[in-house]
């Protein structure tokens, strides 16, 4: 028998043809990678980019703008990071305004303002050339009183500039330019419409673009800053006053200041709706000195505003009057409505008065303060709250109304015989678990009981508490 030869486990050396195939594959891979790198580097990028025109004239001193910030004497603002230091002009919603920026051609050659950038459709811009003597006069006025409007002795011939959104390609800008000869000067007027709600800012920052005549390679852009804050025509401080506890025959007093940062004068009155003679309103206009003092006081309250006109308001709250009218017992809430120039202004928030009338009925204990106070309520589970009413035995109580309508109210006299001339009544308010409309209580929410008699009186018991959770 022939001996068995075990096959060798060592790999055979590659043949010449196999090595050639490896080399060719490697060369092909290198060529593919190189081709891809070349394509990425040299072919156009198909991704759409936001167009930002290069400030090609940067470093040149072509057009000088002495002040590019509206309303203040400060030197030029170089960037938006300085915005918190801006002085705001205040205006009313939907009102129109403008600010004039002076400029001078210092390039030694003719220039043209070609268009402006804006990201707000509420902004427009126009420009015109001024005689040099007139420009110097206006420049001196604006340097001293930058917040005052400029009034040219003669209106320039305005050229309305085209506004372009920052992302729009500038090659589509129309040929609607203002030409400025060497050493000439003029004015750019930025106009706006305040379309934001009171309390919001209009941080207008349009950019004007200019260049030597026809030379787009030296085109430059300069920003103009017009900080505007939208304000209501009238504001009150404090917005609400608590006049305390009134007992039979007594009065309470609420004092407010009303001011306007947008109107030079106020023809103001406050009324109750429906009219209530137990709330007597007195309004007195403040002098310029008093307005200045109020403006300083508001600054101390962290309210930065101008006080162009203001009034002192005093409201006397009577528990009763000679005609026999009396405030309802319990806590009360009264909102005053604003009349300006004799017209009711339903959109303006008037001041509020709260207080409590204490009479023949005691509601709950000292901690209740005449209210029904719920602990936080999970609407899925619901809750109930009861308070005792200590009532003169001669008084009979009945349920009258309640808000909101998704609560249940139960009233029951607990004592059969009076104790020390008084009865105890139990008032219970229940929120059923799973009530879909349930939400936290506010100033409008209360239980009102009728005190039977001639005439009928009422006892108002406010509701307080947070209502929430899963529904």
The domains of the chain are located at 63-230, 235-357, 361-468
Q: Which pLDDT does position 90 carry in this prediction?
A: 87
Pairing state of beta strands 457-464 and 329-335?
parallel
φ, ψ at 253 (rounded to 5°): -135, 135
Question: How much is the pLDDT for 227?
Answer: 87
Q: What percent of the chain has pLDDT over 70?
A: 81
Mean pLDDT for the stretch of residues 70-99 = 68
The predicted model scores a pTM of 0.70
pLDDT digits (tens, 9 = 90+) for 17-71: 555 565 556 665 656 656 665 554 544 443 344 344 455 545 468 999 998 888 7
CA neighbours closer than 13 Å in the CB half-sphere of residue 46: 2
The CA distance from 412 to 403, in Å, is: 19
Secondary structure in 3-state letters for 396-429: CEEEEEEECCCCEEEEEECCCCCECCEEEEEEEE
pLDDT digits (tens, 9 = 90+) for 272-306: 999 999 999 999 999 999 999 999 999 888 888 88
Is 267 a residue whose pLDDT tops 60? Answer: yes
What is the distance between the alpha carbons of residues 276 and 244, in angstroms, rounded to a whole number?
A: 19
Cα 226 to Cα 91: distance, rounded to the nearest angstrom: 12
- CATH code of the domain made up of 235-357: 2.60.40.10
The CATH class of 63-230 is mainly beta
Query: Residue 350: what pLDDT?
Result: 94
Instruction: Note whether 162 and 115 are within 8 A (CB).
Output: yes
Joined together, the tokens standing for residue 297 give 């006081």
Q: What is the pLDDT of residue 74?
A: 53
pLDDT per position as a tens digit, 138-194: 999 999 888 888 999 999 999 999 988 876 665 555 567 899 999 999 999 999 999
Are domains 63-230 and 235-357 of this chain identical in fold? Answer: yes
The class (CATH top level) of 361-468 is mainly beta
pLDDT above 60: residue 377: yes
DSSP label at 147? T
Q: pLDDT per residue over 178-220, tens digit each?
A: 999 999 999 999 999 998 888 888 878 899 999 999 898 999 9
């Amino acid at each position: 028998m022939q001996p068995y030869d075990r096959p060798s486990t060592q790999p055979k050396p590659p043949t010449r043809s196999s090595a050639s195939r490896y080399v060719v594959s490697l060369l092909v891979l290198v060529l593919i990678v190189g081709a891809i790198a070349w394509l990425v580097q040299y072919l156009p990028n198909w991704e759409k980019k936001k167009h930002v025109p290069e400030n090609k004239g940067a470093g040149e001193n072509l057009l000088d703008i002495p002040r590019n910030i509206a309303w203040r004497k400060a030197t030029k603002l170089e960037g938006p990071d300085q915005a918190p230091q801006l002085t705001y002009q205040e205006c009313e919603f939907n009102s129109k305004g403008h600010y004039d920026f002076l400029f001078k051609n210092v390039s030694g050659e003719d220039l043209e303002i070609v268009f402006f950038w804006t990201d707000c459709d509420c902004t427009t811009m126009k420009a015109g050339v001024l005689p040099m003597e007139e420009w110097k006069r206006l420049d001196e006025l604006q340097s001293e009183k930058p917040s005052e409007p400029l009034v040219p002795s003669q209106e320039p011939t305005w050229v309305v500039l085209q506004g372009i959104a920052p992302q729009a390609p500038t090659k589509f800008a129309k040929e609607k330019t203002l030409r400025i000869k060497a050493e000439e000067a003029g004015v750019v007027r930025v106009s706006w419409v305040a379309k934001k709600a009171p309390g919001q800012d209009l941080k207008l920052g349009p950019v004007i673009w200019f260049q030597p005549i026809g030379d787009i390679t030296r085109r430059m852009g300069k920003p103009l800053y017009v900080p505007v804050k939208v304000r209501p025509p009238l504001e009150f401080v404090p917005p609400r006053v608590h006049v305390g506890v009134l007992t039979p025959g007594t009065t309470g007093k609420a004092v407010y200041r009303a001011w306007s940062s947008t109107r030079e004068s106020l023809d103001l009155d406050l009324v109750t709706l429906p009219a209530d003679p137990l709330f007597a309103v007195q309004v007195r206009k403040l002098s310029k000195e008093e307005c200045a003092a109020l403006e300083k006081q508001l600054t101390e309250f962290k309210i930065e505003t101008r006080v162009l006109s203001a009034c002192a308001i005093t409201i006397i709250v009577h528990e009763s009057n000679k005609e026999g009218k009396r405030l309802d017992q319990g806590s009360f809430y009264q909102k005053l409505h604003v009349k300006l120039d004799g017209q009711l202004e339903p959109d303006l928030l008037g001041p509020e008065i709260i207080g409590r009338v204490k009479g023949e009925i005691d509601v709950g204990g000292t901690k209740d303060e005449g209210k029904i106070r719920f602990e936080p309520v999970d609407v899925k589970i619901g809750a109930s709250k009861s308070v005792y009413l200590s009532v003169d035995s001669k008084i009979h109580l009945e349920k009258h109304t309640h808000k909101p309508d998704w609560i249940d109210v139960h009233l029951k006299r607990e004592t059969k015989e009076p104790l020390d001339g008084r009865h105890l009544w139990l008032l219970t308010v229940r929120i059923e678990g799973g009530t879909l409309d349930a939400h936290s209580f506010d100033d409008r929410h209360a239980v009102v009981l009728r005190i039977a008699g001639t005439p009928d009186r009422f006892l108002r018991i406010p509701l307080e508490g947070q209502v929430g959770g899963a529904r």
